[in-house]
Structure 1
Amino acid sequence: MQPSSFRGTVAPLSRTSSAPPADPPPRPAGGVWRGLLSRLVTVVALALAAALVGPAPTAQAAVGLTKVTDFGANPGQLNMYVYRPTSLPANPAVVFALHGCSQNAQMYADNSGLPELADRHGFLVVFAETTFSNHMNKCFNWYQTTDIRRGQGEAASIRQMAAHAVSAYGADAGRTYVTGLSAGGAMTSVMLAMYPDVFQAGAVVAGLPYGCASDVTAALKCMAPGVNLTPDQWAKRVRDANPSWSGPWPRVAIWHGDNDPTVVPLNADELRDQWTALHGLSQKPTRTSVIGPNSTRHEEYAAADDSVAVEVNRVPNIGHATPVDPGSGPQQCGSTGTVNFQASICSSHWIAQFFGLDDSDPGREGLPAPTGLAPTGITDTTVDLSWDAVEGAEGYTVHRDGAPIGTADSTSYTDTGLAPGSSHTYAVAARDADGKPGRLSSTVTARTTGATATCWTATNYAHVQAGRATTSGGYTYAKGSQQNMGLYNMFVSHTLKESPAGHFTIADGTCN
C-alpha cells in the first residue's frame, strides 16, 4: 500500500493536461532545494514501492472479465471490469472488488477467489481498477481529499459503476457490497463512509480507517506504526465528511494478518473502533470464536437485534496479503499464484457469508429461522445443542464456525470430536420437504471443558501482536476477560493465562 500519489505534484502523473500555476521566480538557492526535494520524494516513494511490493508477478488470465467503458463520466479515470457467472439469477447481488497496490483487476480476479464464490452462489462481481496515470504504483488514492469525498474523483467513479451494474445487469441495488485489499481496503472504507446509501456492507482486508491521512507523510504514519484515536474521534471523521447522512451505517467485516509489517495490525483495532462507534456499539465483542483451518480469531459486535454489525478477523501467521485457501472444498477458494495472496483461510468465503450471499443469507426465502438455540450439555470433546421446532420443517442443518457439519431429524444435535478447551459458534437452519434450507438462526458460542491453562509473559505490545489482547484508546485489554492491562506499548509487561482457549486473564506471578 504505497501512499505516495504525486497527483498535482509531478506533472506527468496528473489527470489533467493543464499545468498548475507557475510559482513566482525563486531565488536560486531555493529553486535548487525545491528541485532536490522533489527528486528525493520521488526516489523515496519508488524505493518504498520496491521494498513493500516485491518483484513484479507473472500475469495470469484464468478468469474471463468483460471491460465496460461507458459506465458514466468517470471523474476518477478508473477502469471497470465485470465477472458474470454462467448461471446468474435475476436481480443478483453485486460485489465490488478493489485491488491492492501494484495489482490490477485481472490479478485480483485470478487469485482472490471471488469469481469462484460468484459461481457457487450466483452473484455479480465488479472489479474496479486504477492505473499508472492515477498513481505511479497503481494504488487507489485512499487519502487524497479529491478522491475520497462524495461526488469526487475515484469514489465517484466507483459509485457510477454501481449505478451501471443496476441499469445494465439488473443487479439488486439493495444488495450491493464492496471489499478490497490494502489501498483497496482503505478505499473500501471510503466507499462505506461516503456512500452508505449505496453499499449495505463491506469487508476491509489489511486496510485503514476512513480519514486517517490527507497527505503522504500522514499516510505512512497511518500504515506504520499506526494512529491511535478514540472511537468517538474516528467516528467524527466519518460524520464530518458526510454530514448530510442520518440513515443506518453499513455493516463492516475487518480482516488483518497478525504479522503484517506494511499496514500494522493496530489498524484493525482502529477500524473496529471507528465502525462500532458509528453503530453506537461497545468496543467489547459480543461473541468470540475461531474459524477456518488456521484458527483465525473471529470477533462479533452485535446490534440490539443480535445481527452482526461489525466483525474482526485476526489471521495468524500471515503478512500483508489477502488470505486464501486453494482447493475445491466448501470453505476453500483463491490462489497463491502471485504476491499479496497467502495460503491460510479463504477470506472470500467468509466475506460472502458475512454479506449474506451463501446459504446463510438471513433474507432469503424459505422456512423461518429456528429460535431458542442453546447448548444443553458440554464435555471435553462434545457439545449438545437444542432448539425450538419450526413448523413445516422436515429436518435441520447444523452449522459450526460458519460451515454445515451435519443434519438432525429432531430439535437436538451432539457435536463430537472437539478439542478440549476449544470455542465454537453454532447456528441451525430448518429444511423443507425439498431439502431446501431456510433462514439461519442466531448464533450461540460454546466452549468445551478440560483445557490446561497456558501462560504467556510478554509486553503489552507483543500480547496485542500475538492476538492475546486488543487495544483501544491507547490502552490494552486482555481478550475474553477484557481486563485493562495498562498502556499499549513495549515497556509494560504482564502474564496472561489462557483458559479456555481464546480467553485470557491477567495472572502476574500467579499463573500455574
Structure 2
Amino acid sequence: MARATGGAATAFRNPGSANAAPSWRPDIVEVEEFGSNPGNLRMYRFVPPRLSRNAPLVVALHGCGQTAASLDHGIAWSQLAARLGFALLLPEQKRANNFNRCFGWFSPGDMERDRGEPLSIRQMVDRMVAEHRLDPGRIYVTGLSAGGAMTSTLLAAYPDVFAGGAIVAGMPYKAAYGRMDALNAMVHGRARPSIVWAGLVRAASAHRGRWPRVSVWHGDSDRTVNPANGAEIVKQWVGVHRLPRGPATVDKVNGHMRRAWLNRAGEAVVEEYVVKGMAHGTPVRAGSGARSVLTAPYVFDMGIACIEHIAWFWGLSKRRPGRWTRQRPSGR
C-alpha cells in the first residue's frame, strides 16, 4: 500500500475478488491529510474515472482482522462504484489502536458525535464531498462486524450526514460499553425494548429531521455475533422511525428471508435480511451456484449479492436484483 501526503496519493491495486471479474484492478489510494483525525484512522478512497458532479458517496467499514484492501477484495465495492458511478471511502483501523483492527464501537470515546473515530470518519467524508463535488444528500455508510457496529454509531451520531446505512453482522448503537461487555453482548445478544434502543439514537444528536434508511443483514448460523443482535438493530431503527412493530412485507429473495417496514409514503425505510445457513460474514453471489462456500475471509457465497441489494435499497441502482417471492401480502 503506497502512501502519499496532501491528497496527491499513489495507489495499491486490489487483486480482485471471488465475485468480481479477474481483470478488475481498482486504484484505491490513501489520503493522509483530512483533518485533526482524533480517532487516528487511515483514509483510503476509490473514485471512478469521469465521476459526474453531485455523485453519491458510499463509506465502507471493514471488520476485525480485515483492512480496507481485504474488505474490497472480498466483496468488490469498488467494482460496483465504477459500474454505478459513485465514490467510495474506505476508512481503516490501525493496529496501534486495536491489535485486531476492530473499530472502537464499544469504547466510550468512540461512540459519540464529534469525538474519536466517528469524527475522523466525518472528516474523511467532508474531504471527499469537497474535493470531488459529491452530493451531500446522498452519503451512505455500511460495515461488516465491528464495521457494522461502527455503522450503527455513525448513523446515530450523524443522521444529518448519512441518508442511509447497511449493518452487516453488526450490533445496535450503544449495545456495550467496554471490551468485556462487548464480547458478552456479541455472544449472547443484548435485548432491550424498542423504545429504549430508539431513545439512545435520538439522544445522540439534536437531529429531528428525516432519519436514515437502514438495511440489516445477519447470518442465522453466526456464532461470532449472535443473530439476536440483528433483530435488536431492527427494533432500534423501527423505533427511531416510529413504525409498527410488524413488517409490512415479507419476501424470500434468492432463498433468504427479507422483511421490510414502510413509512407513510409507502417507502421501505427499514429492511432485514436473514441469510439462511451463513456464519459470520457478508453474503455474495459468485455465480457458481454453490451455497455457504468461503470465498474470502468473512465472505460467503450464499447465492445473494449483499452489496447489489443494498445499492438498490439506497436508490443507487434502478434495477431490483435477485429472485423475489412474496411470503405475505402487503399491509400495515
Counterparts of 2:232 and 2:329 in 1: how far apart (Å)? 28
Query: Which of the residues 236, 244, 252 maps onto 1:290?
Result: 252
Higher Cα Rg, which structure: 1
Counterparts of 2:322 and 2:276 in 1: how far apart (Å)? 23
Counterparts of 2:208 and 2:325 in 1: how far apart (Å)? 38
Output aligned runs, 1:231-270, within 5 Å. Answer: 231-242=194-205, 244-270=206-232
Taking structure 1 as the reference length, the TM-score comes to: 0.57
Counterparts of 1:404 and 1:267 in 2: how far apart (Å)? 25
Matched residue, 2:34 = 71
For the 8 Å contact 1:208–1:271, the answer to whether it is kept is yes
Asked whether 1:99 is paired with 2:62, we answer yes
1:319 deviates by: 0.3
Q: Percent identity?
A: 39
Asked whether 1:141 is paired with 2:104, we answer yes
1:236 deviates by: 1.6
Counterparts of 2:94 and 2:294 in 1: how far apart (Å)? 23
**Runs of 4+ with >4 A deviation:** 59-62
1:60 deviates by: 4.4
1:327 deviates by: 4.2
Asked whether 1:108 is paired with 2:71, we answer yes
Asked whether 1:424 is paired with 2:326, we answer yes
Counterpart amino acid of 2:318? D
Counterparts of 2:274 and 2:321 in 1: how far apart (Å)? 18
Counterparts of 2:58 and 2:49 in 1: how far apart (Å)? 16
Output aligned runs, 1:346-357, within 5 Å. Answer: 346-357=305-316
Counterparts of 1:150 and 1:71 in 2: how far apart (Å)? 17
Matched residue, 2:242 = 280
Output aligned runs, 1:184-263, within 5 Å. Answer: 184-242=147-205, 244-263=206-225
In the superposition, relative to structure 1, how do residues 89 and 245 fare at CA in structure 2: closer, same or farther (>3 Å)?
A: same
How many residues are aligned here? 306
Counterparts of 1:218 and 1:96 in 2: how far apart (Å)? 27
Residue range with higher mean Cα deviation, 93-102 or 282-291? 282-291
Listed as ranges, the gaps of 5+ residues in structure 2 are 1-13, 17-24
Counterparts of 1:187 and 1:98 in 2: how far apart (Å)? 8
Superposition RMSD in Å? 2.2
For the 8 Å contact 1:63–1:110, the answer to whether it is kept is no
Aligned-partner SS, 2:188: coil
Counterparts of 2:265 and 2:203 in 1: how far apart (Å)? 28
Asked whether 1:403 is paired with 2:321, we answer yes
Aligned-partner SS, 2:211: coil
1:78 deviates by: 0.8
For the 8 Å contact 1:63–1:106, the answer to whether it is kept is no
Output aligned runs, 1:143-182, within 5 Å. Answer: 143-182=106-145
Counterparts of 1:92 and 1:83 in 2: how far apart (Å)? 13
Matched residue, 1:466 = none
1:192 deviates by: 0.2
Listed as ranges, the gaps of 5+ residues in structure 1 are 1-58, 330-334, 361-401, 406-421, 426-444, 448-479, 481-512
Counterpart amino acid of 1:342? F
1:171 deviates by: 1.1
Matched residue, 1:301 = 261
Residue range with higher mean Cα deviation, 84-93 or 181-190? 84-93
Asked whether 1:317 is paired with 2:235, we answer no
Higher RCO (CA-CA < 8 Å; seq separation 6+): 2
Counterparts of 2:112 and 2:221 in 1: how far apart (Å)? 31
In the superposition, relative to structure 1, how do residues 217 and 446 fare at CA in structure 2: closer, same or farther (>3 Å)?
A: same
Taking structure 2 as the reference length, the TM-score comes to: 0.87
Matched residue, 1:338 = 296
1:337 deviates by: 4.5
Matched residue, 2:9 = none
Counterparts of 1:300 and 1:269 in 2: how far apart (Å)? 13
1:239 deviates by: 2.3
For the 8 Å contact 1:87–1:119, the answer to whether it is kept is no
Deviations 1:102-157 (A, max 9, x none): 10000111111211211221111110100101101100001111111111010000
Counterparts of 1:120 and 1:446 in 2: how far apart (Å)? 34
Deviations 1:412-455 (A, max 9, x none): xxxxxxxxxx9339xxxxxxxxxxxxxxxxxxx769xxxxxxxx
Counterparts of 2:100 and 2:15 in 1: how far apart (Å)? 19
Deviations 1:196-252 (A, max 9, x none): 00000000000000011111221112101101111011112222333x222222110
For the 8 Å contact 1:121–1:357, the answer to whether it is kept is yes
Counterparts of 2:272 and 2:329 in 1: how far apart (Å)? 19
